[in-house]
A and B are shown apart, each in its own frame.
Chain A
Amino acid sequence: MNTAVHPDPQGSLIEDLKRGNSSAYKKAVREYSPGMLAVARFYLDYSSAEEIVQDCWVTVIDAIHKFEGRSSLKTWLHRIVANRCKNKLRSSKREVAIDFSESLEPELANRFNATGRWDLPPSLKFHESADTLMENDALSDCLDKHLSALPETQRSALMLYEAHQHKSEDVCNILDVSASNLRVLLHRARQKIFLMVETFQETGEC
């Protein structure tokens, strides 16, 4: 008799995946694919990244039996995607070009005077929660536009760290970057998002 107890929902999801349960796959695909795509987009263009994510899910059907739970399912999936992307880059002898320069965004750097104090201080004021603000379709569309315009490397780092809540060391491992380079990617991406939201709040324009 099977007396195994799975107190955490992820445990039972993993067991269902191991049994090949199609509903479990639908649930897992919906939950984990956006993060897997964020990993793949760090390394590859959109269509190659999407193809890799699809291929990884097919791999997962066979490989899930080897999953021993040493990391979370999410981290395990993200590592599979990263390894596959790295192999693809290696076989095509390409590298990811990343700008790790630490400067402030020019638009932000120009807002300080010669003594380093604010000349044009931040004007944003948030009176509502992020979830309430996101009900504004125009703001949501604007965020879409600016997130798409971020360099892939910055966007992937930001998504994995913020939206998918990986620890720094996991992001470094998955994206193959040093801790200090991850800091630069996050720093630059956040500045851009801040500037975009500020412009939108001030002018209503994207």
Chain B
Amino acid sequence: MLMCRDLAGIASDYIDGELTGRRNLSVKMHLMMCKHCRSFIGNLRASTDLMKAHSSSKPDEEFIRRIDERVAEALKTRKPRDGNNE
């Protein structure tokens, strides 16, 4: 029988739909009976969403500026292909 500790060990695979049929089914059965594990799966999803929202909100402006400078410098030395450089 799948215990809460076992479920925590495969929760990430479950979230990503990577578990095979029988294993996936045993997680679903466990979740029907266990509110703590339902909460754990929900929290794992939500904290990952937070990480996603966070990392897409703030590019490092200094890092971007340094690349822009390198690219601008390199573009100056290349001939525009269609005469359209801006």
Contacts and interface: CB of A to CB of B under 8 A. Distances in A.
B47 A124 contact: yes
Interface size for chain A: under 10, 10 to 19, 20 to 34, or 35 or more residues? 35 or more
B12 A122 contact: no
A31 B44 CA distance: 27
A162 B51 contact: yes
Contact of A104 (B9, B44, B51, B70): B9
Contacts, number: 165
Given A33-B64, A112-B5, A117-B3, A193 B85 contact: no
A130 B68 CA distance: 30
B84 A121 contact: no
B80 to A, nearest CB: 5
A190 interface: yes
Interface size for chain B: under 10, 10 to 19, 20 to 34, or 35 or more residues? 35 or more
A50 B67 CA distance: 9
B4 to A, nearest CB: 5
A25 interface: yes
B26 interface: no
B70 A21 contact: no
Contacts of B16: 168, 183, 186
Interface string B1-41: 00111101101110110100000000000000000110110
Interface string B63-85: 11011101110110010111011
Interface in A111-162: 112, 115-118, 121-122, 124, 126, 130-131, 133-134, 139-140, 143-144, 147, 158-159, 162
Contact of B12 (A58, A65, A130, A187): A187
B78 to A, nearest CB: 6
B5 A104 contact: yes
Contact of B50 (A18, A22, A104, A143): A143
Given A162-B48, A186-B12, A19 B82 contact: yes
Contacts of A115: 3
Given A20-B75, A116-B3, A121-B36, A130 B49 contact: yes
10 contacts: A121-B40, A122-B40, A124-B46, A134-B54, A147-B51, A162-B55, A183-B13, A191-B12, A193-B47, A197-B43
